[in-house]
Amino acid sequence: MNSSALHLWAAAGLLLASLVLGCGGPEPEPPGPPQDDDDSQEPLGSLWSQVYLVLDFRCTCHTAPEDNRGGFGGLDTQESAYDSIVGVPSNDIPGMNRVEPFAPEFSYLLHKIEGRAASVGGEGNRMPPTGRALQSDDKELIRLWIEEGAEEE
């Protein structure tokens, strides 16, 4: 037997031994933890975080520090947005805050997004003035946040 045939038989023998002994390569990874298969919603963070996402997405006219149309700005960050709307008098009705914690009916923001500003002595169109009105679940989220105290956390 020549040396090439001997090497071939040796390689075949090693391959056969590894298959028989179970050393045919790395062991397969054990399965990971089961995937989350429940139907429940995962928590989305604080109410304020959820409200800010709506404001940030739909109230883009108010992201500059000052609104050049007589409105207000400051919705560019979560912190500045909170400071710009909670406990701050509205421009249209200085006796009514933009957001009055625990009091949705005394929160001008809610009247504006529901298109009822005139009913409380305000003026102007519903907010946002262009495109579709906020979805009812977004309005209810803002109302709930105000009802529960308009907390920042």
Domain that holds residue 77: 47-147
Identify whether the C-beta of residue 73 lies closer than 8 Å to the C-beta of residue 84: yes
Residue 128 lies in a domain: yes
Give 71: exposed, middle or buried? Use CB within 10 Å, 0-12, 13-18, 19+. Answer: middle
133 alpha-carbon distance from chain centroid: 19
pTM of the model: 0.65
pLDDT for res 38:
42
Residue 59 lies in a domain: yes
Domain count, the chain: 1
The proportion of the chain whose per-residue pLDDT surpasses 70, expressed as a percent, equals 61
Which residue did the predictor score with more confidence, 19 or 108?
108
Crossing angle of helices 78-85 and 47-58, rounded to 10°: 90
Residue 131 lies in a domain: yes
pLDDT band for 31, please (50, 70, 90 cuts).
Answer: low
